[in-house]
Each structure stands twice: as C-alpha cells, then as structure tokens.
Structure 1
Amino acid sequence: MMKRRTLLSALAAASATAALPLRAQQPPTKIVFGYTAVTDFASVFVAAEEGYFKKRNLDVELKFIPLNSTIPAALQSDSLHIGGPTPSVFLQAVDGGLDLVLVSGGGVTSKTFTGFGLVARAGSGIRTPQDCVGKKIGVPGLGAFLHVTFRAWLKGSGVDYRKVSFVEAAFPQHADLLRGGSVDAVVTADPFMSRITESGAGYVASYYATFLPEGNQTIVHAAKREWVAKNPAAARGFREAVVEAAAFMQQPKNDARMRSAIGKYIKLPPEVLAKAQISPPGAIVSEKQVGYWIDLMKDQEMLKTPLEAARLIAK
C-alpha cells in the first residue's frame, strides 16, 4: 500500500511539473547588450527597468560602450550578444564582411526633434555649412549616424565635406575639446549638447537634422546571424520587450519613469535629463528604413558591395 501511495505521489509530482509553463522550467537566457550614452536607447532602458525582459525569461546585462563604431567588433568577438550601432555603422560592418542582422530598433528621426546638431566653439564664428570648410569637427563615431548625416547636410548645402577635417571623440569629451580649442565644433546630441551650451563652451550653429525624412532609425539593435539562429526565442523576446517599452514611452503619464531609466544608464542628473528631448521610439525596423540608409551611404561612397535590405532583418 505504501509503495502504491509513493508511486501515485511521484506521478502526481511529475504531472504538476509537466503542467508548468516551459519557460518557467528553463534558466533565463543571458544577453549582454551594448549601448552608448544617448537617449535613443530609452526603449531598452525602460524594458530593463520595467521588467519586460525578465517577463520573457531574459537576463539582459546593459554594458556601456564609449564609441558606437566599436560595437560591431564587440558583437563579432562575442563580448556582446546584441548591440546598438547606428544604421551606418551596422551597414559598414556588414559591407566589411560581418554577418550581422537587425533584431529591433531604437530611436527614429523626427522633423520636430532638435536634440542633436552642430555645436560650435564659442568665438569660432561658425554659423553656416560654408563656415565648416577647413575646420576640425568632432563626431562621436566616424561613419556613425551623426557623422554620415552631417556630411549629407553639407553636401546638400553645396559644401564638399572632404574639405572638413573630422575627428572621433566620445560624447562626454565634447565639452572639454571645445573648451580646450582642440576642435572648432562638434556634432553632438542631448543631453551633452544642452550641457555644452549652458556652460558657455559652445553654441548651436545648426539643428541640421531637420532635413532628414521622418521616421528613420537613428539606432538599430544588431546581433550575429549565427546567434539569432541559435537563440530565436531570445531574439524574438528581446524585440517583443522593446516593442512593449516603446508603447510605455508613448504614454505621457510614464514620462518621469522613462527619464529615470535613462538617467540610471547614462549617468546624468535629473535636472539635465528633465530638459533633454527624447527621440521617438521605433522598435520595428523595416526594409524601407534600411534601404534609405543604404542609398545615403552609397551616395557618400561608403559601401563597396551590394546590400539587400530584406536579408539584414531578423525574422
């Protein structure tokens, strides 16, 4: 009789375990995500703070990367599983032979957004695209979003961007470079732009980005194709979490919590973040958006191989 009861108890326990959701029986998938110090990563910060990753059994570690242009190499070396390069950095990496795909997206461009621009050193006299000729201008990543779009703005204004000297410098260095006279201007973004202008180290010469079309990605979330193939549920869960975070961000009542999440990861005080503009979220990347960047970079002779937008987006 005791043996029968023991057997029945064991069977009941096994049935209860089998009835549990599969996700609850598995350890969380570890994902190291690389980001830079810009608010375009807000949807990832929100997903981390609001528990949207944990909800999908993902253990996401957010890792700060000083220069956006180094993210593809970190993905290739497996230092990161997913990272947030700008679209141009991503496409250059693929053009150079790295087999990367897009899992989701960060911020997108907006005609009303003035959160980045050309900030000139106080006393430099830079006001127009023509004033940039012969000058040294700092950008947060050679070949990254701000560098490529600024060159497009110069070209559209009739200025040969090859006559401008560009130097790579991380966002936190921009104010010191302007104060020290190492550069004549920087192409920078909030909240660093606001801090520079408030300190008197520089002034906004142009919110040049208003020429960009509406709704194109400023940051994309990329991974190795091999990693996505091995971890399809994790890649899908990451994208779903970012989509949920984007919906959260679009509700005005959540503004304070969104800014708090941003402040935690890019280490800025609340009074600075309170004034910063936040890029609209664009969690899903389309072929049209990728195609726009391919065309823009072809125009600047940055790509050597034909790239197919559809093949670069993880399904």
Structure 2
Amino acid sequence: MMKRRTLLSALAAASAAAALPSRAQSNPKIVFGYTAVSDFASVFVAAEEGYFKKRNLDVELKFIPLNSTIPAALQSDSLQIGGPTPSVFLQAVDGGLDLVLVAGGGLTSKTITGFGLVARAGSGIKNPQDCVGKKIGVPGLGAFLHVTFRAWLKESGVDYRKVNFVEASFPQHADLLRGGSVDAVVSADPFMSRITESGAGYVASYYSTFLPENNQTIVHAAKREWVAKNPAAARAFRESLVEAAGFMQQPKNDARVRAAIGKYIKLPPEVLAKIQISPPGATVNEKQLGYWVGLMKDQDMLKTSIDVAKLIAK
C-alpha cells in the first residue's frame, strides 16, 4: 500500500512538473526595453495601473539609452519586447533579423511640438539651409528623429548628405551644445525644454509638424520565435496597451498618466506638467508601416523588399 501511495505521489509530481512549461509559456517573464521619451506612455500606464498584472503578465521595464540598440538586445534575448522606432525596426528586418510587431506606442500629430531642431546659442541656425556643413546630434542614427529630420531637409530642398550627423543620446544633448561639440541637436522633450530654459540652445524649428497624422513614432517588437512560443502573452501585452490607451484618452486621468511617465523617465514635477504627450496607438496596421517603408526607400535606407503584412503579429 505504501509503495502504491509513493508511486501515485510520484506520478502526480511528474504530471505537475510536465504542466509547468505550458504555464511558463503562457506567462513568461517579459523584459521590456524603452528609451527616455513619453511615446512609451501607454506601457508606463499599463505597468502603473495594473493592466499587465490583470492579465498575469510579469513585465520588467528596462531603460535603454540608445533606441538603435534595441533590436540587438531583442536578438540576444536581453529583452523579450522592446520599443524601437519604426525606422530602426525596419532596418533590423532589412538586415536579416526575424522580428515582428506585437503593439504600437505613440502616434504622430500636427499638434505635437515636443520635438524639433535645437540649435546651439550663437550658432546662427534658423532654417534648413543653415544646416548644411553643420554637425548635428541625433539620438540614434537611422531612428525616428534622424529619418524624419532628413525627410524635412529634403522636402525643404536641402541635400541631407551635406549635413554631418553624429549619434548622441538625449541626456547628452545639453552638454554637447554647451561644449560646442555639435552645432545643433534633433531633440525631444523633456530634454528640449531643459536646453532652451538653460540658455544652451534655442528651437530653430518644430519641424515635426510637417509629418502626416497617426503614424507610429514607436513600435513594440519581439523575435518572431518568441511570439510563436508565447502567442497568448503577446496578445495580452497588446491588450494591456489598448486598455492603457483608453485610460490615457480620458482627461480626468491626465495627472496619473503624467505621474507614470515621470516615474520611468525621471522627470521633475515642473517639467512633467508641461510636456506634450503623443496620442497612443496600441495597434499597428499595414498602412502605418508602409508609410515608413516609403520614407526609408526615399532615403536609400532599405536594400530588400519588405512585406509589411508579414511583420505584424496577430
């Protein structure tokens, strides 16, 4: 009898152990990589308002200094999901990484003046033509601000190849301007506001207002292999952001949204109160991604033909 009970106990333990991988696949630990911009607000809100926990997701938010390094972090499994800009994502795919999109972040809007060209005090930069021959810092070569700024220069009749672009993370922008290492930076709030308030620079152009409405500024990517193994977790992540987007769109929740942003990108209250928050776009469609493909082809940034329909996880 004792042997029978021992055998039954062993079988029960084995059955429980066998079930563990299935539960692990449904709710894996997700390390999510973000950069210091408010376009990640829906992720911050989902974390702070409990929308991830509501769906039994264990999500750890990890700050990444340069957006352009996120695809490599995904490939190495340092991150399970990360927020590259659309151009960084598409370049990674073009380069052979098998990534897909599980959700979206912020959206472009002509009402947003939270990023632009910030020139060094005394530089004399006032218009697109003044950028020729100048050294301009961007927070990620090939990332959103770099690509859109080059598109603006081209639309203004300026050959962007005559501008010297250097990679510089957002926190470096003020010091680089003050030290004269660069003539201007393509920056975003809260860093842009801090630069202008300190007198280190001035906004030469809110060039972002030329962009069409409702295109993704940030996309949330993962390895295709990870999504295939964890489809429920990928959907739950997206559903969490959809719920967060709904929360953000209610004016009564503005203070809580700003508090969530401030927690993760370390903003003081006076700066937090002033920043503009991009509209949330929790889902990505083929038209939005196709816009970026067209923009990048126009700048000779893509070597392969990209089928956007295959890049959006269902």
TM > 0.5 between the two?
Answer: yes
Q: Give CA-to-partner distance per residue, 1:149-195, whole Å, 9 cap, x none.
A: 00000000000000000000000000000000000000000111111
Q: Give CA-to-partner distance per residue, 1:42-68, whole Å, 9 cap, x none.
A: 000000000000001100000000000
The answer on whether the counterparts of 1:29 and 1:57 sit within 8 Å (CA) in structure 2 is no
Separation (CA, whole Å) in 2 of partners of 1:247 and 1:70: 30
The CA deviation at 1:290 is 0.3
Write the letter of the residue equivalent to 1:171. F
Q: Give CA-to-partner distance per residue, 1:79-103, whole Å, 9 cap, x none.
A: 0000000000000000000000000
The answer on whether the counterparts of 1:121 and 1:203 sit within 8 Å (CA) in structure 2 is yes
Helix, strand or coil for the counterpart of 1:97?
A: coil
> How much identity, in percent, do the aligned residues show?
87
Q: Give CA-to-partner distance per residue, 1:214-251, whole Å, 9 cap, x none.
A: 00000000000000000000000000000000110010
Structure 2: which 5+ runs fail to align? 1-18
Separation (CA, whole Å) in 2 of partners of 1:309 and 1:270: 40
State the match for 2:87 in structure 1. Answer: 88
Helix, strand or coil for the counterpart of 1:53?
A: helix
State the match for 1:104 in structure 2. Answer: 103
Write the letter of the residue equivalent to 2:239. E
Within the alignment, does 1:296 sit opposite 2:308 as a pair? no
State the match for 2:132 in structure 1. Answer: 133
State the match for 1:179 in structure 2. Answer: 178
| Pairing 1:11-160 to 2, within 5 Å after superposition | 26=23, 28-160=27-159
The answer on whether the counterparts of 1:101 and 1:224 sit within 8 Å (CA) in structure 2 is yes
Helix, strand or coil for the counterpart of 1:187?
A: strand
Separation (CA, whole Å) in 2 of partners of 1:271 and 1:202: 19
Separation (CA, whole Å) in 2 of partners of 1:268 and 1:311: 38
Separation (CA, whole Å) in 2 of partners of 1:120 and 1:253: 36
The CA deviation at 1:29 is 2.5
State the match for 2:8 in structure 1. Answer: none
Q: Give CA-to-partner distance per residue, 1:21-78, whole Å, 9 cap, x none.
A: x9xx956431000000000000000000000000011000000000000000000000
State the match for 1:165 in structure 2. Answer: 164
Helix, strand or coil for the counterpart of 2:154?
A: helix
The CA deviation at 1:270 is 1.3
Write the letter of the residue equivalent to 2:186. V
TM-score (norm 1): 0.92
State the match for 1:251 in structure 2. Answer: 250
State the match for 1:17 in structure 2. Answer: none
Helix, strand or coil for the counterpart of 2:51?
A: coil
State the match for 2:203 in structure 1. Answer: 204
State the match for 1:215 in structure 2. Answer: 214
The answer on whether the counterparts of 1:31 and 1:59 sit within 8 Å (CA) in structure 2 is yes
Separation (CA, whole Å) in 1 of partners of 2:213 and 2:254: 22
Separation (CA, whole Å) in 2 of partners of 1:288 and 1:308: 12
| Pairing 1:183-198 to 2, within 5 Å after superposition | 183-198=182-197
| Pairing 1:227-246 to 2, within 5 Å after superposition | 227-246=226-245
Helix, strand or coil for the counterpart of 1:85?
A: coil
Separation (CA, whole Å) in 1 of partners of 2:205 and 2:57: 41
Helix, strand or coil for the counterpart of 2:294?
A: helix
Separation (CA, whole Å) in 2 of partners of 1:255 and 1:103: 26
Write the letter of the residue equivalent to 1:228. V
Write the letter of the residue equivalent to 1:96. G
Separation (CA, whole Å) in 2 of partners of 1:29 and 1:311: 24
Separation (CA, whole Å) in 2 of partners of 1:205 and 1:31: 40
The CA deviation at 1:271 is 1.0
TM-score (norm 2): 0.92
Separation (CA, whole Å) in 1 of partners of 2:212 and 2:93: 24
Write the letter of the residue equivalent to 1:219. I
The answer on whether the counterparts of 1:88 and 1:143 sit within 8 Å (CA) in structure 2 is yes
The CA deviation at 1:114 is 0.3
